[in-house]
A and B are shown apart, each in its own frame.
Chain A
């Protein structure tokens, strides 16, 4: 049945939403496009610089380091974090409901405390000589007691990855676990009766059944990785979030430094557009690939 509303009432009720969307989404979006072509000192003074912001970015070694580090982090997130999350989900999927609920809470709980707190916590854990991690390494491997996790360029990215694994593996596990519980058990059982090994059951039956969730989680992980900010800025707060030899510098830390710390919103906006373009391109490729495998 088609309902027709007469009078201005529907538009009146929609108007706050439309007004706020225009004010906080559409206008800033258009402004951000324009801003990328200006050099600014906050919103007060600006000078039109054409494509100079983008030229500056592509010639700035700090930006190269940020792009490289963020891409490495995204790759590690997808190749290490997600398989770990899937492994945990598979383990829990086979257990009883009470055990599953307890472990789901345990693995998910790091996510409840937030990235800043995790950053502070790990900066204590990594303290050379006295932190739990150097002490643990010394006890197990007889080395690593004086490892400078947060000031040695070779260890900074592994430190960020370790903290992020603790934070995000449980979070992604919850998605996978929820998806695994929707898989038709009779299909898996039929495959087993036909002589399929556990790996074959997972690869040919389970994984295709949860493909849409996997694609979603991969895309969200890549997007999240390219937006990495709170962890490095907390772990490396003494070096503006850059870390020794720029080893912890990410695209959003670079954006934050240039846009807000230095007040050059134009350059910050240009970085934002580059990040958006990267995320858009990678997401598009992932969706296309997923469709291809589906076909």
Chain B
């Protein structure tokens, strides 16, 4: 008779008992491991950042006599987990890098609920505020305070193939306004071989608006929200932009094609389907990495301006470093943040590894930014991006930012419906009405959020 047979309640309860004992044992073992937590935990979502920080952190550990744990987590998972951890009040890392437009999720409701530390006074105290491009604080500000260190500026340029541009007879120096750009675009966007398929499009524009519509709105000085957090996209200027966008993306003389995302963008460039692609500094590196066959054939140019002499850039993307309120070492976390983002010797190296220009204005004179880049026809792309950086528009954050993006795209899509049925007749009135309706919908969400602030 085995031991199990002697157990009074049979085999199944015995198995349950064993599982219970093992579970408790595992819990205790895991709890012990928690006690070995390093002094700081930093989470990032980008491979390039992870690689750069892994190299830099040992020096920080040595200088401060501490242990820092670095983690790489997929950005979507990071956002969801961090947000849930903050809301539930469970353990969070000490520092976390997040993408633009995420701050709103951490700054909903009453200020005491914010899961992130207010860095405004520290930025002023350490003299960093004036050294950083001012417009970039807008991404990481809520109710007048700054909650993350901006990592980058991400000025926006256009990338093109020099051989294709030469073949099509395009003079880049003439493309200084969008009007001239469209004029050339209408000339080259055509079916030359008669197979009823367009051979070349001038530019990649999202079919549903989305990020390319947003970037153009920011270039014109438009905003989803103003600095005070009020809904601000339902303006005459945005209406004009939507009309322009509809004509270029959906009109009978359209010049744009939506290349989608990932490999299809590289394929469209290799095939010469689209002549101009959007290229913020981070994406210039993506092209180098994903389409190496175009090395030496690519070049960059500033965006055409909306008016002669106007702004020649916009922004796309952004990363910020937040210090979580739950950290037990706020000063040490602040020191690590400054070390990683603003340490002089590493700024140049990181630019060469990522093409992302530093957010510190005084780092734009580094020799690495002057270096010609063989992929981009030996253009000194660091200097080119840095020259545009002071012009980058502010992009204000809000807890209902996603709703604003959804509703701007909705206003655009509804206006497209009208255009496809009735052409340009009455189009502006319809766009204005759709924008007003979209803004009202966002305000309803904003009012709910505001009610929660007041109720506490």
Residues of A within 8 A of B (CB): 9, 13, 16, 39-45, 47, 49, 56, 59-62, 127-130, 142, 145-146, 148, 151-153, 238-240, 242-246, 257, 260-264, 267
Contact = CB atoms under 8 A, between A and B. Distances in A.
Nearest to B414: A245
Contacts of B64: none
Contacts of B402: 240, 257, 261-262
A244 B409 contact: yes
B26 interface: no
Closest 3 CB pairs of A and B: A42-B87, A41-B109, A47-B455
A151 B206 contact: yes
A142 B80 CA distance: 44
Interface stretch (B119-127, B258-266, B353-361): B258-266
Given A128-B258, A263-B83, 15 more contacts: A39-B455, A42-B87, A47-B451, A47-B456, A60-B444, A62-B406, A128-B260, A146-B198, A240-B405, A242-B406, A245-B208, A245-B417, A261-B105, A262-B105, A262-B445
A151 to B, nearest CB: 4
Contact of A130 (B113, B261, B264, B406): B264
Contact of A41 (B108, B196, B258, B267): B108
A45 B257 contact: no
A41 B264 contact: no
Contacts of B417: 245
A44 B89 contact: yes
Interface residues of B, number: 51
Contacts of B257: 128-129, 146
B106 to A, nearest CB: 9
A239 B208 contact: yes
Contacts of B209: 244
B21 interface: no
Contacts of B410: 245-246
A242 to B, nearest CB: 5
A44 B451 contact: no
A47 B113 CA distance: 14
Given A56-B444, A148-B258, A43 B87 contact: yes
B334 to A, nearest CB: 25
A116 B257 CA distance: 27
Nearest to A41: B109
Contacts of A148: 207-208, 258
Contacts of A9: 9
B13 interface: yes
A40 B455 CA distance: 10
B264 A264 contact: no
Contact of A244 (B89, B207, B399, B444): B207
A43 B414 CA distance: 37
Given A39-B452, A130-B267, A239-B210, A61 B88 contact: no
B29 interface: no
23 contacts: A9-B9, A13-B13, A39-B448, A40-B452, A41-B113, A43-B87, A49-B451, A59-B444, A60-B444, A127-B260, A130-B264, A145-B197, A152-B207, A153-B208, A153-B413, A239-B208, A240-B406, A245-B414, A245-B417, A261-B402, A262-B108, A263-B105, A263-B108
Contacts of A257: 402
Nearest to A148: B207
A42 to B, nearest CB: 2
A173 B16 CA distance: 38
Given A127-B260, A145-B197, A146-B257, A42 B84 contact: yes
B128 interface: no
Contacts of B206: 151
B184 to A, nearest CB: 21
A45 B207 contact: no
A59 B109 CA distance: 23
B200 to A, nearest CB: 12
A281 to B, nearest CB: 28
Nearest to B197: A145
Interface in B408-456: 409-410, 413-414, 417, 441, 444-445, 448, 451-452, 455-456
Nearest to B83: A263
B207 A260 contact: no
B328 to A, nearest CB: 20
A16 B108 CA distance: 38
A260 B319 CA distance: 22
Contacts of A42: 83-84, 86-88, 113
Contacts of A45: 109-110, 113, 452, 456
A70 B413 CA distance: 20
Nearest to A53: B448
B268 interface: yes
A129 B273 CA distance: 10
A239 B406 CA distance: 7
A261 B113 CA distance: 16
Contact of A260 (B13, B80, B86, B259): B80
Contact of B208 (A44, A47, A244): A244
Given A129-B268, A238-B261, A39 B87 contact: no
A264 B109 CA distance: 10
Given A9-B9, A41-B452, A47-B456, A142 B196 contact: yes
Interface in B87-102: 87-89
B398 to A, nearest CB: 12
A8 to B, nearest CB: 12
A13 B12 CA distance: 11
Interface string B185-228: 00000000000111000000011111000000000000000000
Given A42-B87, A43-B88, A44-B89, A13 B441 contact: no
A148 B261 CA distance: 13
A56 B448 CA distance: 9
A40 B110 CA distance: 11
A96 to B, nearest CB: 42
Contacts of B83: 42, 263
Contacts of B268: 129
Nearest to A264: B448
Nearest to B201: A146
Nearest to B448: A39
Contacts of B86: 42
B316 to A, nearest CB: 13
A45 B207 CA distance: 40
A238 B198 CA distance: 26
A62 B441 contact: yes
A149 B88 CA distance: 39
B433 to A, nearest CB: 14
A63 B448 CA distance: 16
